[in-house]
Amino acid sequence: LAKTTQPISMDSYEGQEVNITCSHNNIATNDYITWYQQFPSQGPRFIIQGYKTKVTNEVASLFIPADRKSSTLSLPRVSLSDTAVYYCLVVNYGSARQLTFGSGTQLTVLP
Amino acid sequence: EAGVTQSPTHLIKTRGQQATLRCSPISGHTSVYWYQQALGLGLQFLLWYDEGEERNRGNFPPRFSGRQFPNYSSELNVNALELEDSALYLCASSSRTSGFTGELFFGEGSRLTVL
């Protein structure tokens, strides 16, 4: 299973765009990059998933370069309610049942 | 549509006792997963149930066990409680498709405190 590395914490201000980068040097061909969000004392929530290039949904964008050894989660115009822990996971389709969560990135949005 | 529901929200036990946590998956989901999140630690995979069968378990001792009922709800039992079992226990569910792709739907958790 590919190991992921992401910053422990990040601060931002309301209205700014936040980019959280995750490295996954040992990603395999069948692996997908997946991001979850977790608020305190709640379960994680699936945000976005991608294989390569760019994926966008109503919450975030995910940028994946051609070598797929890293990925960047982009949150446009963050608000205070985006303060949470963001987890980058590498998910292998077929064996995706046992998700491996790392330490995540604590994003704090300041007023 | 109701999400994953867990009960109780909070549970306080003493060392050596047994704890039972319950989970109701999203309607139509057949898989249920249990994760442990101890304070300051990441989520650790505990168990995966699908169609009433235990499909996989994480690196936890046998005193952590559970089952899935015919209506796909599940319960997690922790026997001979130890202080380090104090944690947030999260249940998640998935459909066959979403489970295959790693999209799990989590409940809000049950906070177990062992004194």
Q: Do A98 and B103 touch (CB under 8 A)?
A: no
Distance of CA B36 to the CA centre of its chain: 7
Show residues of chain A in contact with B91, CB under 8 Å: 43
Is B68 an 8 Å CB contact of chain A? no
In 3D space, the residue among B23, B32, B34, B36 whose CA is nearest the CA of residue B75 turns out to be: B23
- Give residue A96's pLDDT band: very low, low, confident or very high (50, 70, 90): low
The third-level CATH classification (topology) of the domain covering B5-114 is Immunoglobulin-like (2.60.40)
Look at chain A and report how many structural domains it folds into: 1
Residue A54 lies in a domain: yes
Residue A108 lies in a domain: no
CATH code of the domain in which A38 resides: 2.60.40.10
Name which of B100, B104, B111 is nearest A94 (Cβ-Cβ). B100
Contact map slice: A 61-90 vs B, CB within 8 A: 89
The radius of gyration of chain A's CA atoms, rounded to the nearest angstrom, is: 13
Is A29 an 8 Å CB contact of chain B? no
Residues of chain A by 3-state class (helix, strand, coil), percent to 5: 5, 50, 50
Is B100 an 8 Å CB contact of chain A? yes
Q: What is the DSSP annotation of B28-90?
A: T--EEEEEEE-TTS-EEEEEEEETTEEEEE-S--TTEEEEE-TTS-EEEEE-S--GGG-EEEE
DSSP, collapsed to helix, strand or coil, labels residue A103 as coil
Residue A68 lies in a domain: yes
C-beta of residue B23 within 8 angstroms of C-beta of residue B35: no
Give the pLDDT confidence score for residue B89 in this predicted structure. Answer: 97
Residue A100 lies in a domain: no
Is A28 an 8 Å CB contact of chain B? no
Residue A16 lies in a domain: yes
Give the pLDDT confidence score for residue A8 in this predicted structure. Answer: 95
Instruction: Return the residue of B nearest to A95 by Cα.
Output: B100
Q: Rounded to 5 degrees, what angle do the CA atoms B103, B99, A54 make?
A: 40
Is B25 an 8 Å CB contact of chain A? no
Q: What torsion, rounded to 10 degrees, do the Cα atoms A22, A27, A31, A32 define?
A: 20
In 3D space, the residue among B61, B54, B67 whose CA is nearest the CA of residue B80 turns out to be: B61
Domain span holding position A55: 9-94
Picking from A3, A27, A46, A106 by the largest number of B CB atoms within 10 A of its own CB, the best residue to mutate is A46
Give the pLDDT confidence score for residue B98 in this predicted structure. Answer: 85
> What is the tens place of the pLDDT at every residue in A9-64?
999 999 999 999 999 999 998 889 999 999 988 999 999 999 998 999 999 999 99
d(CA A44, nearest CA chain B) in Å? 6
Alpha helices in A8-79 (DSSP H): none
> What is the tens place of the pLDDT at every residue in B64-104?
999 999 999 999 999 999 999 999 999 999 998 888 888 89
Tokens, residue A31: 């692996």
Tokens, residue A80: 């205070």
